[in-house]
Amino acid sequence: MNGIRHPFTHALYECDGTGNLVVTDGDRSGRFRPDGSWIDGALRECDPQLCGWVAGPQFANHRMADSTASPTASSGR
């Protein structure tokens, strides 16, 4: 799995494929919801902000939108 390392604790935050996260800190790990609430595992604490970054909704980048459409064509002018 791919994930993000916490900048202070160096714990690894990874999506588990079901919409939740697996946080691994050394030899302990735990599963958490995207809001940071604990599900199961030996690790019972996490950073809820980082959980939101890793497992939260993914939005398209407006700068990477399809640039083939003419701006005047879509405005009806």
**What confidence tens digit (pLDDT) does each residue in 9-52 have?**
999 999 999 999 999 999 999 999 999 999 999 999 999 999 99
- CB of 39 closer than 8 Å to CB of 20: yes
Can you give the pLDDT at residue 68? 63
**Residue at token pair 């714990």:** 11
Between 48 and 58, where is the model more confident? 48
Domain boundaries, the chain: 3-56
Task: Please give the model's pTM, rounded to 2 decimal places.
Answer: 0.74
